[in-house]
Structure 1
Amino acid sequence: MHCLRKLVLIIRDSLPPSVFSTSPRISKLANIVCRLNHEFLPSDIEMAEETEQERTEYQELANYYLGTIAGAHRVFIIQPYIKWGPGKVKNTTPELQLAEAEALVKTLPRWAVVDKKCVPLLSLQRKKLVGSGGLNELKKRILTADYVTAVFISTNMLRLVQIAELQKEFALPVFDRYSIVIHIFRQHAKSPEAKLQVALAEIPYIWKKMIESNVDGKINLEESRKRLLQGRQGKLKKALQKVQERRTVVRQKRRFCGIPSVAIVGYTNCGKTSLIKALTGDLSLMPRNQLFATLDSTAHEGLLPSRMKIVYMDTIGFIQNVPEGLLAPFRVTFQDAIDADVIVHVVDVSHPDREAQVDHVRATLKSLLIEDRPVIEIANKCDLVEKGTIPEDTIAVSAKNATGVDLLRKKIEEELVRSTGQMHIRMRVASGSEVAAWLYKELTVTNAEPDSENPQYMYMDVFATELQMHKFKRFLKQ
């Protein structure tokens, strides 16, 4: 990887500056996008040295509290729900929650759902979670099912005592949503940055379980485990801080160059990557029909109807019913969305649980955003629903068929011009002059036509911010 990076730098430095200012393939925007997507190499974010013993001890600790997913599992899913009272969820149903739990399990390689059941409860705090009658019924159903090897309790985080009691009753490993999502993250984390964030996301779960337990009653053993976890957490946070600093620098450079950004956000598997592929025409993007297929925040260059250059930011998907600590390390990734000029909230309008998903994304965005940002809410997968079911004021899109994509680009442009203070200006400049070259290089030129009265001059329509106009004036004085 280092050799490749050096080769790219050597090639770049050997080319004349004019190549970068004139070639549409090697543009300033492409360079920034490249930095956003490839700046964080393993050497930049790897943890400080760990001994083999420390790695082995941590792996044993993680396996004990998170469980292991080696090989395959045949899973029985239990979807608990509160029947009434303040804990009752009102914007979805147990059946829809169970369907999402099943999708989570199927996301893991070689895992299969053998059977499933919704279980009504009055509280999620009981030691065995389920009463004796309901517990016996579940045990019988698991025994009669076709070879169950694990049980998934689809609630955000079980207490250690609950896991221990249920494992004792079922004689099977028990997983909650936090542990299942972590294992999915481990499977899908490919880049060093994603792996770093996943590694940090594991630790709050292990800490909570360690606090709840006094394993073996051996104080010295517990103290050594705490020191191990504290040391690892400190190294991970330090590495993540470096990533955050790098991303901040890249965002500042992008803003200095006057390149607007649009964050594509939404519930997991709503079609964000497919939408970016449709908006940019980038055939290298390979969307996957999986939960949490995207764990990295990646940048993709695009053009709006006016030929304005922008950057689309792909982001990790949101999901309900997981503790905040699970996604906290990914705030570095979310920061690209938080700082975007415009946010596009992608809604899977064909999903039966879309109401709960939309509520969750809206609430999460509200908690993340410090300042107001324009949010465009679109109905994706409109080809999968009947006509007339989407409100008239909502942009209906099919990323797969490219339906509504042109309308969305136009809407994004309108919001960007409004939010970034872009001005549309017509200028008369000498044809082939340094001024014309500067405008092409630094601003968004939407149209250029010769002056009918004097062909030595041309009219250029440009989009520019106030800062860019100041730069232009300084250039003219040189």
Structure 2
Amino acid sequence: MKTTSHMVEKEIDDRAVLVSLITQKQKKNELLAEYSLQELVKLAETAGVQVLETMTQNKEVKDTKWFIGKGKVEELKLLLEELGGNTAIFDQELSGAQVRNLEAALDVKIIDRTQLILDIFAQRAKTREGIIQVELAQLSYLLPRLSGQGKNLSRLGGGIGTRGPGESKLETDRRHIRGRIDELKAQLEEVVRHRTLHRERRKKSGVFQVALVGYTNAGKSTLLKQLTQADVYIEDQLFATLDPTSRTMVLPSGKEIVITDTVGFIQNLPHDLVASFRATLEEANEADLILHVVDSSTEMRNEQMRVVGEVLEQLGAHQKEQITVFNKIDLISREDRDLLSAEGEFMKVSAYAPEDLDRLRVTIEDKLMGDSKEFRIPADKGDVIALMYRIGEVLETDVDGEDMVFKVRVNTEDYVKLAYLLVDYDQSTGKAEFEENEGESN
């Protein structure tokens, strides 16, 4: 019992000075550099680190050996000794050589922004898919840096930088790590295969999918909970939820859809992480509609929207039907609300205002359901009629001899699904002959 207590104590014993380098290029947007450092503080606190102090250096270009200047390294060493720090966290990505040099000079754990984000993900991953993706991202990041990770990996007292695969003797040899990466990729491919099958079943059943995307801590999980009355974990911290969460939502017409909360984006999201989490993030790519949730209460909302747009473009989802949802309007003044705008369709809501949620549900339905069309279907085609009820909103029904006549609100894509079942469709009469389905019914 004593051992466990001691381990827990060491696990939260990271005391860090945070360091940011502002180059000539970054100096053009000092507000962005300051925001990035503030975000690093939040990331460190989310990882369970005690932040002692922050330090910045203005420099033309980064130092290839030390990243920051040699004089700044000496200043950092004195500050760490004075404050009793045992970790230095850098706001930018470091090379293996820079980690090695800084570690030798400072004799503390050296962590960069990418490794810090990966560490948070290691803490938050709960599902098999999330755990595989985190380990794959960590190994892909560490492989080219092994020579600079000697002391970090030998500090097995716990804390940031040593969770997940960091505790499993990564310093063995590159061949073993490459083998592990191949093994994880194979496991992930199997997970992706299962996910694809689920998506195909959803599409066949005519269930619409809506994806919530946005910057971390924009309020996506809160919105999901309020829209679906589901039990969803909510916390005011970065990456409070990592694994995608899907819940059923009922539209005003009574039709059910699936709404999914995806992992939050962040400035300088590590490339290894984007690559490893592609399967999860592709929920956005497969969605019929994307709700881009924006924290309207932050001054950096335009920058955050840009970051989300870039990640969606990387995924090939930027041309999907999209609504920008400015959330948290209850936290800003009416004057600031009037200034909120975005390209394309947008809404201003508070996740805690029932009338705003009702408006959002109506807007989602209008986007998904499309225009009304008339279908004349033989009454004995029960499978087609059932599919029409699932993918469209049946507004009117009538009987004409042996046929059923339906007036249905359905979007273009799902209209094509219905038309796919038709062999001959007479546009003038609306009379349709249906192809007999063999095997599994749609």
TM-score for both structures, normalised by structure 1: 0.72
**Equivalent residues, number:** 393
Q: Which residue of 2 aligns with 1:399?
A: 351
Partner of 1:78, secondary structure, is strand
Shift in CA distance, 214/124, structure 1 to aligned 2, threshold 3 Å:
same
Q: Per-residue CA shift, 1:327-373, capped at 9, x if unaligned?
A: 21100011111111111111111123222211111111122116721
Return closer, same or farther for 1:320/1:134 CA change in 2, 3 Å cut-off: same
Query: What is the distance in 2 between the residues matched to 1:277 and 1:165?
Result: 47
Query: Using the alignment, how far apart are the partners of 2:170 and 2:19 within structure 1?
Result: 32
Hey, what's the Cα distance between the residues in 2 that align with 1:227 and 1:436? 55
Structure 1's 143 and 392: CA in aligned 2 closer, same or farther, altered over 3 A?
Answer: closer
Distance 1:327 1:301, change over 3 A: same
| Counterpart code for 1:268 | T
Contact 2:374 2:405 in 1 (8 A): no
Instruction: Find the partner of 1:101 among 40, 51, 69.
Output: 40
Q: Specify whether residues 376 and 310 from structure 1 end up closer, same or farther in structure 2 by C-alpha distance, changes over 3 A only.
A: same
What is the distance in 1 between the residues matched to 2:176 and 2:215? 35
1:262-301 → structure 2 map (5 Å cutoff): 262-282=210-230, 284-301=231-248
Residues 474 and 304 (structure 1 numbering): CA distance in 2 closer, same or farther, change over 3 Å? Answer: farther
Counterparts in 2 of 1:399 and 1:467: CA distance versus 1, 3 Å: same
For structure 1, the residue ranges without an aligned partner over 5 or more in a row are 1-68, 216-220, 452-456
CA contact (8 A) 1:267 1:319 kept: yes
Distance 2:171 2:80 in 1: 38
Aligned to 1:326: 273
Q: Name the CA distance, whole Å, in 1 between partners of 2:210 and 2:246.
A: 10
Change (3 A) 1:267 1:411: same
Q: Does 1:151 align with 2:102?
A: no
- Match of residue 62 from structure 1: none
1: CA distance, partners of 2:374 / 2:246: 30
Q: By how many angstroms is 1:73 displaced?
A: 0.9
Amino acid at match of 1:142: L
Is contact 1:95-1:118 (8 Å) kept? no
Q: Is the 8 Å Cα contact of residues 211 and 262 (structure 2) preserved in structure 1?
A: yes
CA shift for structure 1 position 416: 2.1
- Residue 385 of structure 1, CA deviation: 1.1
Q: Are positions 1:188 and 2:108 aligned together?
A: no
> Are the structure 2 counterparts of residues 436 and 474 from structure 1 closer, same or farther at C-alpha, using a change threshold of 3 Å?
closer
CA contact (8 A) 1:446 1:461 kept: yes
Partners of 1:108 and 1:438 in 2: CA distance: 50
Distance 2:134 2:416 in 1: 41
Alpha-carbon distance in 1 for matches of 2:421, 2:191: 30
Residue 253 of structure 1 corresponds to which residue in structure 2?
201
In structure 2, distance between residues paired with 1:141 and 1:211 = 26
Q: CA deviation at 1:224?
A: 6.3
SS at match of 1:312: strand
C-alpha distance after superposition, 1:237-287 (max 9, x if no partner): 0000001111111111111112121111011111111111122222x1122
288, 299, 324: which one pairs with 1:377? 324
Q: Structure 2-normalised TM-score?
A: 0.78
Provide Cα deviations, 1:308-336, integer angstroms capped at 9, x if missing partner: 32211211111112431222110001111
SS of equivalent residue, structure 1 residue 90: helix
Q: Which moved more, 1:388-397 or 1:319-328?
A: 388-397
Instruction: Report the Cα distance in structure 2 between the residues aligned to 1:296 and 1:316, rounded to whole angstroms.
Output: 7
Q: 1:89–1:153: structure 2 CA closer, same or farther, 3 Å change rule? A: farther
Residue aligning to 2:106:
170
Distance 1:425 1:308, change over 3 A: farther
Determine the C-alpha separation between the residues in 1 that align with 2:235 and 2:171: 43
For the structure 1 residues 341 and 153, does the alpha-carbon distance in structure 2 shift closer, same or farther, using more than 3 Å as the test? same
Contact kept? 2:96, 2:147, Cα under 8 Å: no
Structure 2 CA distance for partners of 1:162 and 1:306, relative to 1, 3 Å: same
Task: Give 3-state SS (helix, strand or coil) of 1:388's partner.
Answer: helix
- Provide the residue aligned with 2:3 in structure 1: none
8 Å CA contact retained: 2:223, 2:351: yes
Structure 1 partner of 2:314:
367
Match of 2:440 in 1: none
Matched, 1:346 2:293: yes
Deviations 1:369-394 (A, max 9, x none): 16721121121111111112134654
Q: Do the aligned partners of 1:104 and 1:180 also contact (CA within 8 Å) in 2? A: yes
Structure 1 distance, partners of 2:436, 2:70, is: 84
Q: Tell me, yes or no, if the aligned pair for 1:429 and 1:460 is still in contact at 8 Å.
A: no
How far off its partner does 1:106 sit?
A: 0.8
Change (3 A) 1:167 1:414: same
Report percent identity of matched pairs.
Answer: 29
Q: Tell me the residue number matched to 2:73.
A: 135
Preserved CA contact (<8 Å) 1:306 1:446: no
Structure 1 residue aligned with 2:16:
75
1:193-204 mapped onto 2 (5 Å cutoff): 193-204=129-140
Q: Report the alpha carbon displacement of residue 209 of structure 1 after superposing the two structures with TM.
A: 0.6
Q: Equivalents in 2 of 1:79, 1:114: separation in Å?
A: 14
Q: What code does the residue aligned with 2:99 have?
A: I
What is the distance in 1 between the residues matched to 2:206 and 2:419?
Answer: 11
